[in-house]
Amino acid sequence: MDQQKHNQPTVADDPNARELLRRAFDNTARWPKDFNGFTADLTVNVNGKETSGPVLVKGPREVSVQLSDADTQKWAQEQLGMIAVHRGPRSFEESDGKYSLTMEEDGHPLGTKLIIHGSNSFYRVKNDRITQINRTMAHPGMTPFAFTINVEDSAVTQDQKNLTTRYTVYYYSPTDGKLNNVESFTDTHTRLGSSDLPATRRIISFENGTVFVKHLIFKNHKLL
């Protein structure tokens, strides 16, 4: 028992850090609790190559995309799944609130450093908004990688919640710090009922020595 405690030290939770992150969480736009999903027509353009088809989104694990190109279909499905994870209804206690939280004021331009203990993550929070996410992913049998997301711009929804519209992700090796890829996201949204749904997403990325521009356009949204 003592050995287990030694291997997994507990960190005292800072109530001020918890309140700071809870406010940022509560100010972030999400789909409503009674959200059942949506359908739309999707067009994907990758460096000039275009393909179109229907999409169905019910939740993070219930995403269907039908495109003629298998690789583009798999990628678009991953993008929609990621959107559904971030936008899906959930409570603070179900997400970062389940960890011990502490914070540091280090004068950083993106705000207060907030450490989420036990998740290999730390955020920065400014003006009740999460402005940066830092995370290291290390699982048995896979090469560890890390990423930093810098939130550059956001819109305010009809519900007075923050909805990110522009952010950049830096992927790098946590062992040697080598930068592996950069992705720059620009999103727009359309309001349907009480939900802000994806309208467009443009991603500019650098992969294996090539710059890719990928554009997703959603039309004819219908709520389920």
Decide: residue 111, CB within 10 A, 0-12 exposed, 13-18 middle, 19+ buried.
Answer: buried
Q: Give the lowest-confidence range in 6-15, 50-59, 66-75.
A: 6-15
Mean pLDDT across the stretch 69-89?
93
Predicted local confidence at residue 9, as pLDDT:
59
Strands of the chain, DSSP E: 38-46, 49-59, 62-65, 100-104, 112-117, 121-126, 129-137, 145-156, 162-172, 179-192, 195-207, 210-223
Half-sphere exposure of 99 (CA within 13 A, CB side): 17
Q: Is the dihedral of CA 29, 42, 200, 187 positive or negative?
A: positive
Predicted local confidence at residue 123, as pLDDT:
97
Mean pLDDT across the stretch 167-180?
92
Q: Tell me: the pLDDT tens digits for 23-46?
A: 999 999 999 998 999 999 999 999
Q: Tell me: the pLDDT tens digits for 94-151?
A: 889 999 999 999 999 999 999 999 889 999 999 999 999 999 987 777 788 899 999 9
Residue with tokens 């940022």: 24
